[in-house]
């Protein structure tokens, strides 16, 4: 069974890759993902909606019912109930599957007409107005949530699927042909029976697409996507309690630089979405990625009332002030970006930043994200944050913030990761683990720089070996030569509050040790042999000359 699933998944990935290669044309790969993911989402919500209604009718004894087959007029009677339950409403005529059938019928009719008239196949009916139909359907789905609790989660959700973009083609017909091809390929994907496995299939497809595009998009893609293995490590670090036991539930999980949402959703995969009791929270400054993140929530079957993804600058305009503190915080914030800092006179009095008595430098916002996360962390919670290595040793304001964190015993662990783990950068990053209620006043340093397996173009944390090894070291909390160091506060103070792992964990010397005595003996033998050979050569030459 497992082999069959792996085979199906690989086939699915091949289909996606072929789709991306064939369709992107003049559209940059990272930009084109919006169309692929958006259309995947359109199919998902159509099947989700239809399956829910059909299941209810079948359980009520109406076994012949199929929502996709009824008229739009008949469907209106369930609009209010469905918006309340699902957060949106979609008419039968607007379903992805029914639009696909219309496209196929139009193509068939155009082909048959051409054959009858002995002419070349002309544009099918939908080739001239498919973009308008799609735009109307998307706007209708978004509008169905207006004035309801689900409105924030649906508003502008399809904005980045620009069906009129010149990037799709210079004319309406060419753009629609590309959209038609996109719909056909998405419709042909074998995502299985919705009720059985579509959640895994849709979610896996999304993650594969994001990883594929990020790996080929350089920095622009890597900013928005954290590799799944790193997500797993961060999640498990955030779930370990003071006794080294993995929590089975948390109140909620938060990411202040949420990107595509992969870090949040790893909690749903590891714990089960129902064990994140009050839901998934995040904020994203990039509007396109904000939309993709909300789509990702739906594709992983997170209901609209179980997530709150907001758009805006987390550092200067945070959106979750009224929430109770978060028991789990995970994040991979952008490295050393600029922010307002001291240019904004109000920030030094902001309760998130004021305890340290200094703001993160304007040119390097890393510690602003860390202080933000710490402020919103629950007393019994854990935050695991990916960090740029420079913040561990630079002076000035960053040193003062490190001093504040150490003096108040908030830093539980610093983990040095291998280089070349993340898309768009080869830098060896770190993880900072924060707790407000530590069981001791020491800080653990782990050198995991050698914990990786070689992948095609990058390094990778192996879920079977590397991740368990790092987690065991974190749980055991003891000094192991060349791997970990449990360091007292006073020793960190003596090191001027440097938090670089290399300051406390001595690297293993892998160079060959040379024994001078043995080397001298070898040299002596070589010289003796050389002298003997010279004597033999001189004797031969003298004999030749004498003759």
Between 74 and 544, residue with greater pLDDT: 74
Most confident stretch, 47-51, 193-197, 411-415, 510-514: 411-415
pLDDT at 198: 40
pLDDT at 509: 67
In this structure, what token pair is assigned to residue 293? 């993140």
Tens of pLDDT, residue by residue over 403-436, are 999 999 999 999 999 988 876 667 889 999 999 9
Nearest Cα residue to 36 out of 282, 299, 430 = 299
SS3 177: helix
Nearest Cα residue to 57 out of 45, 66, 48, 49 = 66
Residue 73 pLDDT > 70: yes
pLDDT bin (cut points 50, 70, 90) of residue 361 is very high
| Cα 396 from Cα 399, distance rounded (Å) | 5
| Cα 382 from Cα 235, distance rounded (Å) | 10
Between 80 and 456, residue with greater pLDDT: 80
Burial grade of 248 (CB within 10 A; 0-12, 13-18, 19 or more): exposed
pLDDT bin (cut points 50, 70, 90) of residue 217 is low
Query: 284 phi and psi, to 5 degrees?
Result: -140, 135
pLDDT at 194: 43
SS3 330: strand
Instruction: Provide the percentage of residues in the chain whose pLDDT is more than 90.
Output: 57
What is the average pLDDT across 509-538?
73
Tens of pLDDT, residue by residue over 259-290, are 888 899 999 999 999 999 999 999 999 888 89
SS3 523: helix
Nearest 10 degrees: Cα torsion 343, 346, 348, 354: -150
Residue 229 pLDDT > 70: yes
Most confident stretch, 68-77, 161-170, 413-422, 457-466: 68-77
Tens of pLDDT, residue by residue over 170-204, are 889 888 988 998 898 888 877 655 444 443 566 66
C-beta separation of 19 from 205 below 8 A: no
pLDDT at 78: 95
pLDDT at 177: 87
Give the pTM. 0.84
Between 14 and 449, residue with greater pLDDT: 449
Count the neighbouring beta carbons within 10 Å of the beta carbon of residue 144.
21
């Amino acid at each position: 069974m497992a082999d069959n699933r792996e085979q199906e998944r690989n086939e699915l990935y091949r289909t996606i890759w072929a789709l991306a290669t064939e369709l992107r044309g003049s559209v940059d790969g990272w930009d084109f993902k919006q169309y692929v993911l958006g259309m995947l989402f359109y199919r998902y919500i159509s099947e989700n909606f239809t399956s829910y209604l059909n299941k209810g009718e079948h359980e009520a004894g109406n076994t012949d019912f199929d929502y996709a087959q009824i008229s739009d007029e008949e469907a209106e009677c369930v609009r209010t109930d469905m918006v309340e339950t699902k957060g949106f409403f979609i008419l039968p005529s607007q379903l992805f599957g029914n639009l696909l059938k219309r496209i196929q019928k139009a193509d068939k009719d155009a082909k048959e007409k051409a054959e009858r008239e002995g002419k070349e196949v002309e544009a099918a009916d939908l080739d001239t107005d498919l973009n308008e139909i799609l735009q109307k359907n998307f706007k209708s789905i978004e509008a169905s949530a207006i004035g309801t609790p689900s409105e924030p989660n649906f508003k502008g959700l399809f904005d980045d699927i620009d069906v009129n973009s010149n990037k799709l083609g210079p004319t309406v017909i060419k753009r629609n042909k590309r959209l038609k091809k996109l719909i056909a390929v998405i419709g042909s994907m074998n995502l299985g029976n919705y009720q059985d496995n579509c959640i895994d299939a849709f979610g896996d497809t999304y993650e594969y697409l994001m990883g594929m595009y990020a790996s080929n998009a350089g920095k622009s893609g890597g900013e928005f996507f954290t590799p799944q293995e790193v997500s797993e490590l961060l999640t498990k670090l955030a779930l370990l309690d003071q006794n080294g036991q993995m929590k089975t539930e948390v109140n909620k999980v938060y990411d202040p630089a949420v990107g595509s949402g992969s870090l949040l959703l790893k909690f749903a995969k590891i714990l089960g979405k129902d064990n994140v009791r009050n839901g998934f929270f995040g904020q994203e400054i990039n509007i396109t990625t904000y939309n993709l993140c909300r789509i990702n929530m739906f594709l992983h079957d997170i209901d609209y009332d179980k997530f709150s993804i907001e758009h805006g600058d987390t550092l200067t305009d945070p959106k979750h002030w009224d929430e109770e503190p978060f028991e789990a915080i995970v994040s991979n914030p952008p490295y050393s970006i600029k922010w307002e800092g001291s240019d904004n006179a109000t920030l030094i009095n902001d309760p998130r930043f004021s305890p340290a008595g200094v703001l993160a430098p304007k040119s390097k916002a890393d510690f602003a994200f860390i202080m933000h996360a710490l402020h919103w962390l629950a007393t019994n919670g854990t935050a695991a944050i990916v960090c740029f290595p420079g913040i561990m040793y630079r002076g000035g304001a960053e040193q003062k913030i490190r001093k504040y964190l150490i003096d108040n015993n908030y830093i539980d662990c610093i983990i040095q990761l291998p280089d070349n783990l993340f898309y768009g950068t080869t830098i060896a990053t770190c993880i900072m683990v924060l707790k407000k209620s530590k069981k001791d006043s020491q800080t653990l340093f782990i050198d995991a720089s050698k914990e990786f397996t070689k992948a095609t173009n990058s390094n990778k944390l192996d879920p079977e070996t590397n991740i368990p090894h790092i987690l065991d070291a974190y749980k055991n909390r003891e000094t192991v030569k060349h791997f970990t160091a449990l360091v007292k506060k006073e020793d960190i103070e003596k090191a001027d509050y440097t938090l670089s792992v290399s300051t406390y964990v001595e690297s293993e010397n892998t160079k060959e040790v040379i024994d001078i005595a043995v080397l001298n003996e070898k040299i002596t033998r070589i010289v003796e042999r050389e002298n003997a050979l010279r004597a033999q050569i001189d004797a031969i030459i003298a004999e030749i000359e004498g003759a």
